[in-house]
Amino acid sequence: MPIQISAQWSIPQAIAALSDAQSISVSTSGSTGVAKSITISRSALKASAQASNQIVGAISSNTWSLLLPLSHVAGINVIARAIELGTTPIDCRPGNGYSNVDFTAVVPTHIHRALNGDSALLNHLKSAKKVLVGGAPLSTSERKAAESAGISIIATYGMTETCGGCVYDGIPLPGVDYKIVDEIIYLRGPMLADVDLVDGWFRTSDRGHSENGRLVIDGRIDDQIISGGEKISLSTIENALKEKFNSDFAAFAKGDAEWGQRLCVAKVTEIADSEITSYLKERFGSHASPKEIVRVPSIPTTGIGKPDRKKLAEG
């Protein structure tokens, strides 16, 4: 039976479990809907860890730091990469503080906090040779700001079904291939979990295209709503607002008798609602004008740092 690793385990407990496990069970972390359990084999986890270490240039004496929860594949991967190097990860989860490290993996929320007052986290990320950033899109402006601050970033793309990130800065890890069919991204490789395949390929829930030989993610299939007969990508709205106003936003939908679904936007900034509406209407058309804009102290997120649209819609 697959082992379910607890988020509360210590690093030694997690190392012991992964060393003995033939497979592990990991929950997905979608921003909508109900999470599901995915079974990942030892060979898939090992293939992912080896490929990641190879691309970042990790050697046997190097260390990884753990900032992510062990209930998610991104945290488990840190343990697996360290096991492959024969080292022990440095536990930097909340309450443990920070120290210098060779490599680490974070979500965009960590980057945002490091650039907005968390100097200890900033110094920790700057100490790393490479910082993997995944779980959610990292805006171009925030990546540039982070790199200007001295953080060496690799943006990763993947999901629990692919044992976490399997495409680094648009380039597949060794052994990984991708293809685009009707705008949908398909993946294959040795780190695929126990999932249903189509002729050997895993059909993701993401839309994308190839640009200059690199995979570009255009957004999730299930983040697309239809409002008044017009299709709207929530992630596209979010990313456009983040780039324009250099602040945190989340787009979400609520049921509506007139529109079917109405586009809503959550903001943490004091930027006027009219300015937000005007920008979206000018860039995407009148159908992208939010029907509701709410200000929140912070954008609620799932455990791995994705915007919690379900919570926003219910709030």
pLDDT of residue 176: 98
* This prediction's pTM: 0.82
At 36, the pLDDT band (50, 70, 90 cuts) reads confident
pLDDT of residue 31: 46
Per DSSP, the residues of 10-78 read -HHHHHHHHHH-SEEEEE---SSS---EEEEEHHHHHHHHHHHHHHHT--TT--EEE-S-TTSHHHHHH
For the chain, which residues make up each domain, given as ranges? 3-219, 228-314
More confident residue, 222 or 32: 222
pLDDT of residue 29: 56
Query: Average pLDDT of 56-79?
Result: 95
Q: Is the pLDDT of residue 37 over 80?
A: yes
pLDDT of residue 35: 65
Mean per-residue pLDDT of the chain? 92
CATH topology classification for 228-314: GMP Synthetase; Chain A, domain 3 (3.30.300)
Superfamily of domain 3-219: ANL, N-terminal domain (3.40.50.12780)
Q: Is the pLDDT of residue 77 over 60?
A: yes
pLDDT of residue 224: 82
Q: Is the pLDDT of residue 32 over 50?
A: no
SS3 234: helix
Q: Could you report the per-residue pLDDT of 235-254, keeping only the tens digit for each? A: 889 989 998 998 999 999 99
